[in-house]
Chains A and B, each alone.
Chain A
Amino acid sequence: MESIELRRIHKSFGALHVLRGASVRVEAGTSGVVMGGSGSGKSVLIKHIVGLLKPDEGEVFIGDTRVDTLDGDDLDRVRLSIGYLFQSGALFDSMDVAENMAFFMERHTDLTPAEQRDRTEELLSWVDLADKLHAQPAELSGGQRKRIALARALVLEPSIMLYDEPTTGLDPISVRSVSELIVRLREERGLTSVAITHDLLCAEIIADSVHFLSEGCIVASGTLDDVKRSDHPAVVPFFESTDTTGS
């Protein structure tokens, strides 16, 4: 298990300065949640952890390994220890569920087809979707797609999980179901995880620590209650509006 740390990350896209010195530390074996409004740069921040984006300034560490300077095979080795649940699920829509699951195992493991099938069935049972083995992604509901994508992210047995808006667009029951799977992952497998979300229910269920991102900076950190008590002008209206809408 390894900690994750982003130090003073700056990132611009042309004239748009998205991150302005954001720093986040998530201890090994815990779940850190980055919250913030739409367009605050949460997705940009999490993509730095896995090297999908390189910071203009700042450093990214996984354990003692500095990730932002890695490239090629070195970066690939780090990536293989990370599972990533994308906002859209990112299931390959030209393949059925079984092929989606097998795709990464075929390329990165020495498992026989029978062993791959066993692992696929085990993970699909774990997300309670064993009957969807041969379903096409288009036939799945939003919640099912997220759970299958979560199962796929686990096929290479990562030690770190990243979740990009894991519950966006889901009904409250699916939000609870996906969030509880994330908690189980941490408890059963001891994974270090970082989730970005603006979903308060999800954060309440999964967060050990919360970091609030506004205008490219982390403006409040701590437990969810600590952050809720913050009097920062960006944080107060965020929690007031989510309490009002009951989300």
Chain B
Amino acid sequence: MPSDARPSVLTRAFAEIGLCSEFIVTFFLRFWRRPFEGRELLRQMDDVGSKSFLLTGVTGFAIGIVLAMQSRGTLMRFGAEAVLPSMLALSVVKEIGPVITSLVLAGRLGAGMGAEIGSMRVTEQIEALEVAALKPYHYLVVTRVLACFFMFPILTLWTDAIALVGGYLESILASGMDYRIYFSTAFESLRFSDVLIDTGKTSIFGLIVGLVSCYLGYSVRGGTREVGRAAMKAVVMSSLLILIADVIIVRISLVLFGSL
């Protein structure tokens, strides 16, 4: 019977896209309206931010050291070892720092948000909020998405800084480079707009991670297996969308601001 037939994959995919779009539009319609869950927002910023400092710091340190080690040999072949600090600064600040930081955060936060909100859904905690005349969307979704929006750039700056320190340590060990030369060469190559645009784009990555993870958690139906699937999908989808968004943002910024 037609009424019993399962919808096709295409139908389900369109339905999913429709629901996800509605969820995202709802965010932009509601995040600036009452009720403002300020205390919960601060708690989420703490959860997203301070609890990720170690992870992103270690990531940045590893990026800096490895990038310096890998690049040094190549640059020496062309007699260009002196540009190592500039190369490190540009590649870390413009691309590697923002993207790697966002991917690492997508792994930590995407899984956490998807699983936490998903388990709240299956244990009726979200319904308990609704029944108590509260706004679960504001309390759970708006706070988490805004926390990602604000904290991703801060964590990216932190990662960038630690990566440059990592690169400097490698330079001391490999060539005994003076720290004044290293850091002045590194910062001279950077423009304020590099830092602003390429760090600022991680706010968009934060929105992606927050919205995708919250959507997948919020729309969980069923039991704990679905919670696990939501967590996994949150990481995969967030990571993929970050990479796609990066391509688009870089392209747009090149068109608007040029390649210099």
Minimal Cβ-Cβ distance residue in A for B130? A52
Please tell me if the beta carbons of A76 and B131 are within 8 angstroms of each other in the complex.
Answer: no
Please tell me if the beta carbons of A15 and B4 are within 8 angstroms of each other in the complex.
Answer: yes
Please tell me if the beta carbons of B134 and A86 are within 8 angstroms of each other in the complex.
Answer: no
Please tell me if the beta carbons of B124 and A87 are within 8 angstroms of each other in the complex.
Answer: yes
Minimal Cβ-Cβ distance residue in B for A164? B124
Q: What 10 A-B pairs are tightest by C-beta distance, nearest first?
A: A76-B133, A90-B128, A90-B124, A79-B133, A86-B124, A84-B131, A15-B3, A88-B123, A90-B125, A104-B132
Kindly provide the distance from the CB of A142 to the nearest chain B CB, expressed in whole angstroms.
Answer: 13
B residues at A contact (CB < 8 Å):
3-4, 35, 116, 119-120, 123-125, 127-128, 130-134
Query: In the assembly, what is the distance between CA of A75 and CA of B133, in Å?
Result: 8
Minimal Cβ-Cβ distance residue in B for A92? B125
Known: A90-B125, A104-B132, A156-B132. 16 other contacts (CB 8 A): A15-B3, A52-B131, A75-B133, A76-B133, A80-B132, A86-B128, A87-B124, A88-B123, A88-B124, A90-B124, A91-B125, A92-B120, A92-B125, A93-B119, A104-B134, A107-B132
Please tell me if the beta carbons of B133 and A84 are within 8 angstroms of each other in the complex.
Answer: no
A residues at B contact (CB < 8 Å):
15, 50, 52, 75-77, 79-80, 82, 84, 86-88, 90-94, 104, 107-108, 156
Query: In the assembly, what is the distance between CA of A50 and CA of B124, in Å?
Result: 14
> Taking chain B's interface residues, is the majority helix, strand, or loop, or is none over half, making it mixed?
helix
Minimal Cβ-Cβ distance residue in A for B116? A94
Give the chain A neighbours of B127 by CB distance below 8 A.
52, 86, 90
Give the chain B neighbours of A93 by CB distance below 8 A.
119, 123, 125
Give the chain B neighbours of A107 by CB distance below 8 A.
35, 132, 134
Minimal Cβ-Cβ distance residue in A for B39? A106
Give the chain A neighbours of B131 by CB distance below 8 A.
50, 52, 79, 82, 84
Query: In the assembly, what is the distance between CA of A156 and CA of B3, in Å?
Result: 44
Give the chain B neighbours of A90 by CB distance below 8 A.
123-125, 127-128
Give the chain B neighbours of A77 by CB distance below 8 A.
133
Minimal Cβ-Cβ distance residue in A for B131? A84
Minimal Cβ-Cβ distance residue in A for B125? A90
Give the chain A neighbours of B130 by CB distance below 8 A.
52, 79
Give the chain B neighbours of A156 by CB distance below 8 A.
132
Give the chain B neighbours of A80 by CB distance below 8 A.
132-133
Could you list 30 examples of A-B contacts with CB < 8 Å? A52-B127, A52-B130, A52-B131, A75-B133, A76-B133, A77-B133, A79-B131, A79-B132, A79-B133, A80-B132, A80-B133, A82-B131, A84-B128, A84-B131, A86-B127, A86-B128, A90-B123, A90-B124, A90-B125, A90-B127, A91-B125, A92-B120, A92-B125, A93-B119, A93-B125, A104-B132, A104-B134, A107-B132, A108-B132, A156-B132
Give the chain A neighbours of B35 by CB distance below 8 A.
107
Give the chain B neighbours of A94 by CB distance below 8 A.
116
Query: In the assembly, what is the distance between CA of A68 and CA of B127, in Å?
Result: 17
Query: In the assembly, what is the distance between CA of A119 and CA of B128, in Å?
Result: 20
Most A CB atoms within 10 A — which of B116, B120, B125, B131?
A: B131
Query: In the assembly, what is the distance between CA of A76 and CA of B120, in Å?
Result: 21
Minimal Cβ-Cβ distance residue in B for A78? B133
Give the chain A neighbours of B124 by CB distance below 8 A.
86-88, 90
Query: In the assembly, what is the distance between CA of A77 and CA of B132, in Å?
Result: 10
Kindly provide the distance from the CB of A108 to the nearest chain B CB, expressed in whole angstroms.
Answer: 7
Give the chain A neighbours of B134 by CB distance below 8 A.
104, 107
Kindly provide the distance from the CB of A148 to the nearest chain B CB, expressed in whole angstroms.
Answer: 12
